[in-house]
Amino acid sequence: MNILFDERLDGPLPPVDPEATLQRLHDALPGMTLLHSEEDRRPFECDGLSAYRVMPMLVALPETLEQVTTLLRTCHALHVPVVTRGAGTGLSGGALPLEKGVLLVMSRFNRILELDPDARIARVQPGVRNLAISEAAAPHGLYYAPDPSSQIACSIGGNVAENAGGVHCLKYGLTVHNVLALEVITMEGEPMTIGSEALDAPGFDLLALFHGSEGMLGIITEVTVKLLPRPQSAKVIMASFDDLGKAGRAVGDIIAAGIVPGGLEMMDNLAIRAAEDFIHAGYPVEAEAILLCELDGVEADVADDCQRVREVLAQAGATAIILARDDAERARFWAGRKNAFPAVGRLSPDYYCMDGTIPRRELPRVLKGIAELSDESGLRVANVFHAGDGNLHPLILFDANRSGELALAESVGGRILELCVEVGGTITGEHGVGREKINQMCAQFEDAEITVFHAVKAAFDPTGLLNPGKNIPTLARCAEYGAMHVHDNQLPHPELPRF
């Protein structure tokens, strides 16, 4: 598979003259950092989906809103596409540059502008790191709830653009549930306030629309987030299982008992062993699956819920149930989970992280399907699962230096996502479509629905200059992808790479 921009399938890009663009931007923005040498642009050629690289034509690093506005107006006038990038940790290639486009890097907007502990809000620039918000709020007993695994590095602007999740979403929601307001600048250079510090705003819910819009509708220049009081008590229970299916059923049993855990995570044996080897979290390496169940809130309730969860887990056939003794052990249990991706990365030269979401009841069927795809392809798959909200992260292990393995991994990944759609789920829970899942969008949506997505895009950016080729496939791409898909089913060797 080649996910790089393809004008035949993704639509023509406007003809761009790199020299003239550089000159015009230099003239319009003499004080702004504008990288144009190959050496300077090199670090920006990919985001977290590092298998794909494109050298951006120019890299702009503005520091003021005026510079962003002028940059956008100039690019709009010149018909030059703009790809926005935050910290570059995205896993779906949402910030993959264009050869004929400007990469707008927002990382210098890294200041916390206001933190009001009584109002429980923080107003921050988009380049502020996710974790930095919670760190700044900590002296007031407050924190910012969404905690994607990359929270040390990922920035809040990117979190909004991807509607990032994390391990506490079932109870505390995604980014969209924790942001009150945005300042954005449109492709035409117009500033707009979306949402407000009140709990609602007049008109359409553009705040929700911008979450997960992957830099296609406007540039986020400021984010006002909600802060929550840190729970009085948080406990983590780790349960081991000798069978994945039993662990999956235990998840439903906890929720059926009327308990909404702060976090509910599941890992399979390969992921457990990788994490234990890397972090020494104290995981049982012989278990087929573990569940990590975090209960948080008012102390008395947490104690009661812990007791009930222990009973439910015992009933569900857990082979061991351990309550973290103290905060240090709790942090260690979580560290294993939060480092599962790099831990799995140590088992294999490369890995490919998927991000499907399914109704939880379909977990046994989907895990079985993944195991079959793994056997068929010969590629190992480790499963890390936000079990509480049905968000599955299969990690496909491969070696890019072996001819055809990347393509094989992508083919297995694509089929896992199609399986998610088949059982009523989605191709992306929290990582976004970007370029990575552009073809699978055709499996999830009908042409008429994709047409509506294009209509929304055109309402904000009729000339299609913001992040072209991401998030929403063209109907031409879907026609081609659909055709190849059918063709593939007729092939005698389904393990062969499709693209």
Partner 1 sequence: MDPDAASGPDIGDQDVAAQLCARVAEANGAGTPLRIAGGGTKTFYGRSVDAPALDMTGHRGITHYDPVELVVSVRAGTPLTELERILAASGQQLPFEPPHFGPDATVGGMVSTGLSGPRRPWSGAVRDFVLGTRLISHDGQHLRFGGEVMKNVAGYDLSRLVTGAQGTLGVITEVSLKVLPLPGAAHSLRLQLPLEAAMAKLAKWGRQPVPLTAAAWHDGALYLRLEGGGRSVDANRARLGGETLDADFWRQLREHELPFFDPADPRPLWRLSVPHTASPLALDGDWLLDWAGAQRWLRSEMPASAIREAATRAGGHATCYTPSAAEPFTPLGPVLAKYHRQIKARLDPKGIFNPGRLYRDL
Among 15, 139, 203, 492, binds partner 1 (CB under 8 A): 203
Residues 102-141 that bind partner 1 (CB under 8 A): 116-121, 140-141
Residues 342-381 that bind partner 1 (CB under 8 A): 357-361
Residues 21-40 that bind partner 1 (CB under 8 A): none
Does 151 bind partner 1 (CB under 8 A)? Our answer is no
Residue identified by tokens 């496909």 is 396
Nearer to partner 1, 25 or 306 (CB): 306
Integer Cα distance of 133 and 115 in angstroms: 9
> Which amino acid makes up residue 235?
K
Does 256 bind partner 1 (CB under 8 A)? Our answer is yes
Give Rg (Cα) of the chain.
23
Q: How far is the CB of 379 from partner 1 (least distance, A)?
A: 24
Nearer to partner 1, 404 or 424 (CB): 424
Among 231, 342, 494, 497, binds partner 1 (CB under 8 A): 231
Does 485 bind partner 1 (CB under 8 A)? Our answer is no
Q: How far is the CB of 413 from partner 1 (least distance, A)?
A: 15
Among 56, 90, 212, 215, binds partner 1 (CB under 8 A): 212
Both tokens of 460, joined, read 């904000």
Binding residues with partner 1: total (CB under 8 A): 95
Among 1, 55, 65, 208, binds partner 1 (CB under 8 A): 208
Nearer to partner 1, 54 or 174 (CB): 174
Does 65 bind partner 1 (CB under 8 A)? Our answer is no
Q: How far is the CB of 232 from partner 1 (least distance, A)?
A: 4
Per-position x/- string for 275-314, each x denoting binding to partner 1 as judged by CB under 8 A, each - no binding: ----------------------xxxxx-xxx---------
Does 209 bind partner 1 (CB under 8 A)? Our answer is yes
Q: How far is the CB of 261 from partner 1 (least distance, A)?
A: 12
The region of 8-16, 22-30, 190-198, 236-244 touching partner 1 under the rule CB under 8 A is 190-198
Residues 313-332 that bind partner 1 (CB under 8 A): none
Nearer to partner 1, 122 or 408 (CB): 122
Integer Cα distance of 426 and 163 in angstroms: 15
Beta strands 102-105 and 82-85 are: parallel
Q: How far is the CB of 461 from partner 1 (least distance, A)?
A: 10
Residue identified by tokens 């220049």 is 221
Q: How far is the CB of 28 from partner 1 (least distance, A)?
A: 22
Does 149 bind partner 1 (CB under 8 A)? Our answer is no
Among 146, 148, 157, 165, binds partner 1 (CB under 8 A): 165
The region of 4-12, 20-28, 257-265, 475-483 touching partner 1 under the rule CB under 8 A is 257-265
SS (H, E, C) the chain: CCCCCCHHHHCCCCCCCHHHHHHHHHHHCCCCEEECCHHHHHHHCCCCCCCCCCCCCEEEECCCHHHHHHHHHHHHHHCCCEEEECCCCCCCCCCCCCCCCEEEECCCCCCEEEEECCCCEEEECCCCEHHHHHHHHHHHCEECCCCCCCCCCCEHHHHHHHCCCCCCHHHHCCHHHCEEEEEEECCCCCEEEEECCCCCCCCCCHHHHHCCCCCCCCEEEEEEEECEECCCEEEEEEEEECCHHHHHHHHHHHHHCCCCCCEEEEEEHHHHHHHHHHHCCCCCCCCCEEEEEEEEECHHHHHHHHHHHHHHHHHCCCCEEEECCCHHHHHHHHHHHHCHHHHHHCCCCEEEECCEECCHHHHHHHHHHHHHHHHHHCCCEEEEEEHHHCEEEEEEEECCCCCCHHHHHHHHHHHHHHHHHHCCCECCCCCCCCCCCCCCHHHHCCHHHHHHHHHHHHHHCCCCCECCCCCCCCHHHHHHHHHHHHHHHCCCCCCCCCC
Does 255 bind partner 1 (CB under 8 A)? Our answer is yes
Question: If we measure between CA atoms, which residue out of 179, 178, 207, 212 comes closest to residue 90?
Answer: 212
Per-position x/- string for 420-459, each x denoting binding to partner 1 as judged by CB under 8 A, each - no binding: ----xxxxxxxxxx---x---x--xxx-xxx-xx-xxxxx
Residue 430 and residue 170 in contact, taking contact as beta carbons nearer than 8 Å:
no
Per-position x/- string for 70-109, each x denoting binding to partner 1 as judged by CB under 8 A, each - no binding: ----------------------------------------
> Which amino acid makes up residue 323?
L
Nearer to partner 1, 49 or 57 (CB): 49
Among 200, 286, 327, 372, binds partner 1 (CB under 8 A): 200
Nearer to partner 1, 239 or 397 (CB): 239
Q: How far is the CB of 187 from partner 1 (least distance, A)?
A: 11
The region of 78-86, 163-171, 345-353, 489-497 touching partner 1 under the rule CB under 8 A is 163-171
